[in-house]
Structure 1
Amino acid sequence: MTDLSLRLPNRRLRAVLNLGPKNAAKLTLPERFAAVDLFVDWDDADELNTLIVTVDDGQVHFELHDGQIEHHYHHLGGGDTTVSPWPADETELLLTWAGQIGADFQLLMPRILDDIAEAAAWHDEGYDLYVCEVEEPTQLDLIEVEVEGELMTLPWLGAGTVTHEHIEGEDHPIALLWTPLTAEPDQPIAEAWLDSVTELPRTKALPGIDWTAVGMPADEVLSWLEGIYLNHHVIPDAEGTLLTAVLARLGGIDAV
């Protein structure tokens, strides 16, 4: 089991960004939605903006493309549905609020993602303040976040080279790919995924692997892979943390 106490210290990141008018922040959500999480995903190829709003007892998913917006719901433990898990009047307000966040975010694309990525890069270089560029005077927003420290891990100490990639399956699985050469790793030797109960990674070695050739025993490889999974798929990085804070500011649910 990876020692979770071996973490780098948390660090503050301040980013001055141009977020526009923040129309959703002018709306007041019902008490039922006091604790809401926001997640957004952007598909460059299709210019598709997917916004996911999560509360304790359900989710609503939005897809925005070419000025059109579609949505569906997810009840706890169930698949997608057109039936809201909440009362009609409260659902209508939530849809209006979240739809406005999606529309406001869409207007900021792709510049806002570039600014967030650049702010995260500055953070990785040790700077704690990033200021976006603007062409003319405008009202800007100061976003302050605490970025969790990564787990301290060793570099790959086995033979050859490794990389990891997402694979099909539930609980966000990844495969560890290995090659004895300096070429791109292509042989799966282990897998990791997120335990939905403990919210910690689980791992397994794949059968038929020559661990002598790999240069590390299977248990050491799995321990190393667990740390990699924690850093890349569990512990929020600077970019993801800042993006979440931007969405909260657009929705008016952050502590300004």
Structure 2
Amino acid sequence: MATNKLTDIEVKQAAIREGDYKITDGGGLYLLVKNNGTKCWRLAYRFAGKQKTLALGIYPSVALKQARDARNEAKDKLAKNIDPSLDKKQEKLKQQLAAANTFEAIARDWWQHKLGHWLPHHSLRVLGRLEADVFPRIGITPITELRPPHIKAIIHNIEKRNALDVAKRVLQDVRRVFAYAVELGHIETNPARELTSKARQTTHRDALPPEQLPQFMRDLASYHERGRLLTRYAVELLVLTFVLVNFVARAGVNLI
């Protein structure tokens, strides 16, 4: 057991000098007081025959008691033949890797990877859906920890807003992000692969009276101002195809 020498008052009142100096506490722990006023906790120790130093934090963010606890933890590692400095570096690396492997980090990487294959308005909609409904719930979670119930909860939350089309697209986006993570080797299986979303009930409307068709086509021509151009083209093609088929049928022409 290390013999403690410092007190909280001594640490707090340690004066600035022209040069850096040390105040020892015991068991290799000391306070390094720098000439700019910064007070750093350090642990001097030997490992594999070499003298080494472990940084334990800055006072007052790390108080005297916390520094002693960190010293005792390092001593326990040394007793198990573990270098506390190397162990600290490895733990920091693990945290960095975990941060790089969060769902949001991988999803944004996937989104960047797809930008060259998408139209700008489509790419913005995909990112918007992820930022609105997915990142707030699982964005900071390492992708290796996500399971089907996590994804199902997100989809169910969207469905409760009766945004069934959004729920379907979000599930598709999430499924593709996981597929991308599988390709990169972050995970082995896609937890969203077997999940489904609610399907919207189809309501069949009455046929449009012929006399209303001209106005419908005029309205459709202005649809691009507030809707998707692809949708407008699809509807126009459907109408023109129907008119052509109807004309051919009335004329009794056999196209086969």
| Pairwise TM-score range, normalised by the shorter structure | under 0.3
Greater helix fraction, Structure 1 or Structure 2:
2
Query: Rg bigger for which structure?
Result: 2
Bigger relative CO (Cα 8 Å, ≥ 6 apart): 1
